[in-house]
Amino acid sequence: MPDDSYSFIKPATLHDVARLAGVSYQTVSRVVNNNPNVAVDTRERVSQAIQELDYRPNRAARSLITRRSQTLHLISFNINYFRPVRYIIQAAKDMGYHIGVTLLTDSTSKEDLRELLNELTARMIDGFLLFDPGIEFVFEEMNKLCRNIPFVQIGACPCPMIPAVVFDQRHGTQLVLRHLLDLGHRQIAEISGLIINNYDGRVRHEMYLEMMKAYDLNPGPSVTGDFTIPGGYQATLKLLDLGEPFTALVCGNDELALGALHALHERGLRIPEDVSVVGFDDNLEVSFTEPPLTTVRQDYEAISQQSIQYLISLIENPRTPHYQQMIFPQLVVRESTQPIFGK
């Protein structure tokens, strides 16, 4: 006598969903794959049928047919940038893609990257995102390493023909310097970020020197920081110990600025009455400092969404042109800066 203690229910299929929703199975497929060319009411009807039948797409079978896995892989060369990595993961999820993440250090060599990509390209991955690479490579070289799997670079300086979405670091630094110069500051000190292995830090430092020269001003005292709060604190103490006067301080990022604020307060200097301070990035916490920090906003959510969209376009249409899209930062003026005559 058969054992009736267990009952087995056959999983719902694409055709089951189509019958319940009263549409073709092709329409169901478009909804499952987030194709925008589906009417809103039809999408809602199909979504309701999927929910009622508890339909689960067979990704393995779909991968065999489409030769795609709906999987991307992010390689981040800066382990300190957690916020943009989070945005990238969410943007990929919103577009119906899974995403793996590998965090590297800024000392990663080309050989290290080659070994990693040899391992990753052996898997079923549809595309790569390279976040803030400190390594420069030409398109042909990177394309070979990726074994012709589409890739997009985010941040840093892309070589010609590299598909990329980047922030305009020169524009952001110009905003900062013009703001301070318009306030009447002429003795402007700098804590640069790392300028040897970091493209963003190097460009911001070079733009600082260029702007000072354009206004026929001598650069103020300058030291290098490591993009951390302790680094900003130590760099500011070093600046103060040099004994060179300055009325404004440009910091290579918000973390350096946070350390600078603490050091200046510790030495009895008022902000902005004695020294105006600016940062770069507009991290969440800088609107809660004392005083709130003037900084440059880089929209990491926008750069994440646009880079994911661009990569998916390259995956779905190999004829998509290669270009380098610039996102322009914005100046956010808060209470850490004031006119020089306010002293």
**pLDDT tens digits, 56-88:** 765 544 544 445 668 899 988 776 666 788 888
State the fold for domain 69-167+300-328.
Rossmann fold (3.40.50)
- As beta bridge partners, residue 164 has 153, 324
What percent of the chain lies above the pLDDT cut of 90?
46
State pLDDT tens for residues 119-159: 888 888 899 999 877 778 888 988 998 988 999 999 877 78
pLDDT for the residue 329 = 95
Domain 169-298+331-342 falls under CATH 3.40.50.2300? yes
In the CATH scheme, what architecture does the domain 14-57 have? Orthogonal Bundle (1.10)
**Which pair of tokens denotes residue 324?**
């380098």
Computed over its alpha carbons, how large is the radius of gyration of the chain?
Answer: 26
What is the per-residue pLDDT across 7-48, written as a single tens digit (0 to 9) for each?
445 677 778 888 999 998 778 877 877 677 788 889 889 888
The Cα–Cα gap between 28 and 191 comes to: 56
> Range(s) for CATH 3.40.50.2300 in the chain?
69-167+300-328, 169-298+331-342
Query: Is 102 in contact with 129 (CB distance < 8 Å)?
Result: no
Contact by Cβ (8 Å): 97, 316? no
Please state, in angstroms and rounded to a whole number, the distance separating the CA atoms of residues 119 and 64: 21
Higher pLDDT, 26 or 336: 336
